[in-house]
């Protein structure tokens, strides 16, 4: 377990922020992901400091230990970046606890899949995230149901763990699979590894295949080739998260949550027709 304070000057900086310190519990890849970056940006806007606990597992005991550690730091409320344990743990923590607000994951996956189908592909392969991850499940469902609505074959999911390394390994298997012309990756980091594996296997994107990612991380525009991806407004989602947590802390009804919208950003990885 590691502690990372997001205040301007480490732990002392956190204590000095005007509106106090809020806790964040991150598990796995969420500890360095764009959801946390968006939450940090929103916290800076609103003069909150964040104290971030990263735990290696998603078990109840591990998360409860993180809650205890954050309470010792004097946080007034906690955001859980992976909120699927929230209902189980909230009654026993004794401190306001909320999940991170989400963007429209399903709509993003639907739009990414439709974009690839519109390029003339008979189907779209999916590089999915971890099976136990809520975001991964929603993105996979959006992909699957979009193919079904269009009467397209649904290929088997090739699964990664959000990392570029896992995307590279998935890309190695897809590069030798017959008929892989379009791939929707559940995040940009896995898409980066996928692109590297395709290039190593002699597959040129977008000449031989089209690839779409998800998140629009800052580096996506500089991948080789620049990556078409689904952009999420993580700062807007962070603002909604903080508003909900502030209401819980004050004991008042939380404002209605609007799911933050997403946008397909088309770049070179899907811009040209194959064979061009």
pLDDT digits (tens, 9 = 90+) for 198-245: 999 999 999 999 999 999 998 999 999 999 999 998 899 999 999 999
Q: Are 216 and 33 spatial neighbours (Cβ–Cβ below 8 Å)? A: no
Asked, for residue 276, whether it belongs to a domain, the answer is no
Last residue of a domain, one of 100, 130, 160: 100
Asked, for residue 242, whether it belongs to a domain, the answer is no
pLDDT at 27: 76
50 and 123 both lie in a single domain: no
Give the single-character DSSP code of 157: P
The pTM for the full model equals 0.80
pLDDT of 13 > 50? The answer is: no
Last residue of a domain, one of 82, 100, 118: 100
Domain CATH for 135: 3.40.50.2300
114 and 223 both lie in a single domain: yes
Domain count for the chain: 2
Non-local CB neighbours of 10 within 8 Å, separated by 6+ positions: none
199 and 153 both lie in a single domain: yes
Q: Which of residues 216 and 28 earns the better pLDDT score?
A: 216
Q: Where are the beta strands (DSSP E) in the chain?
A: 2-5, 8-9, 21-27, 49-55, 78-80, 97-99, 125-128, 158-159, 182-185, 210-215, 228-232, 262-265
130 and 224 both lie in a single domain: yes
96 and 109 both lie in a single domain: no
Tell me if residue 271 falls in helix, strand or coil. Answer: coil
Q: How far apart are CA 188 and CA 178, in angstroms?
A: 24
| Range of the structural domain that residue 122 is part of | 105-232+264-270
113 and 74 both lie in a single domain: no
pLDDT digits (tens, 9 = 90+) for 151-207: 999 999 999 999 999 999 999 999 999 999 999 999 999 999 999 999 999 999 999
Average pLDDT, the chain: 86
93 and 127 both lie in a single domain: no
pLDDT at 91: 67
115 and 71 both lie in a single domain: no
74 and 186 both lie in a single domain: no
Last residue of a domain, one of 54, 74, 100: 100
209 and 181 both lie in a single domain: yes
pLDDT at 126: 98
């Amino acid at each position: 377990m590691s502690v990372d304070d997001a205040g301007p000057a480490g732990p002392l900086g956190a204590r000095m922020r005007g509106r106090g310190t809020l806790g964040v519990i991150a598990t796995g890849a969420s500890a360095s992901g764009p959801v946390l970056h968006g939450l940090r940006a929103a916290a800076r806007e609103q003069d909150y400091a964040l104290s971030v606990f990263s735990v290696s597992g998603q078990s109840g005991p591990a998360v409860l230990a993180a809650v205890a550690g954050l309470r010792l730091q004097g946080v007034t409320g906690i955001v859980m970046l992976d909120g699927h344990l929230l209902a189980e743990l909230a009654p026993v923590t004794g401190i306001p606890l909320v999940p991170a607000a989400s963007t429209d994951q399903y709509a993003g996956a639907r739009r990414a899949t439709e974009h690839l189908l519109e390029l003339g592909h008979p189907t779209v392969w999916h590089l999915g995230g971890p099976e136990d991850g809520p975001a991964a499940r929603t993105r996979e469902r959006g992909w699957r149901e979009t193919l079904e609505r269009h009467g397209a074959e649904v290929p088997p999911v090739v699964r990664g763990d959000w990392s570029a390394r896992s995307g590279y390994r998935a890309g190695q298997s897809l590069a030798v699979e017959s008929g892989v012309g379009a791939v929707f990756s559940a995040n940009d980091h896995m898409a980066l590894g996928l692109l590297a594996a395709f290039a190593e296997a002699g597959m040129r994107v977008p000449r031989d295949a089209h690839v779409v990612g998800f998140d629009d991380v800052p580096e996506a525009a500089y991948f080789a080739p620049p990556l078409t991806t689904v952009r999420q407004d993580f700062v807007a989602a962070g603002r909604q998260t903080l508003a909900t947590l502030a209401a819980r802390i004050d004991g008042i009804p939380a404002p209605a949550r609007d799911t933050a919208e997403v946008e397909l950003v088309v770049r070179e990885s899907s811009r040209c027709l194959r064979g061009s």
